[in-house]
Amino acid sequence: MNTPNKKPSIYSMKLHDVIVLTPTSIQGTAVSHYSIMRVAGGWIYQVWDTEKQDYIRETFVPFNNDFQTNQP
């Protein structure tokens, strides 16, 4: 269960869910948007460049229980 001030856990995401992270900006203009997509076997971290209108980086991160925090 998510509370308003609690950020979602990547471990609670369902297949193809996306979490959009805070964009980076230069002098108030957003230049990159970051997102995390749940895929089979892990997640894809994506960086979208607003000037190039293209993904400039996509990284697959495999699932690993070692980093999962125990939640009641």
**pLDDT, tens digit (0-9, with 9 covering 90-100), for 30-65:** 678 899 999 999 999 999 888 888 888 899 999 988
* C-beta of residue 37 within 8 angstroms of C-beta of residue 17: yes
CA distances from 4 to 7, 36, 47, 52 (A): 8, 19, 25, 33
Domain annotation covers residue 54: yes
- Return the number of other C-beta atoms located less than 10 Å from residue 43's C-beta: 21
Domain annotation covers residue 21: yes
- pTM metric for this prediction: 0.69
Domain annotation covers residue 4: no
Q: How many separate domains does the chain show?
A: 1
Q: What is the residue range of 45's domain?
A: 10-62
- Return the number of other C-beta atoms located less than 10 Å from residue 4's C-beta: 4
Domain annotation covers residue 24: yes
Domain annotation covers residue 44: yes
Using DSSP's 3-state secondary structure scheme, residue 12 falls into helix
Share of the chain above pLDDT 70, in %: 76
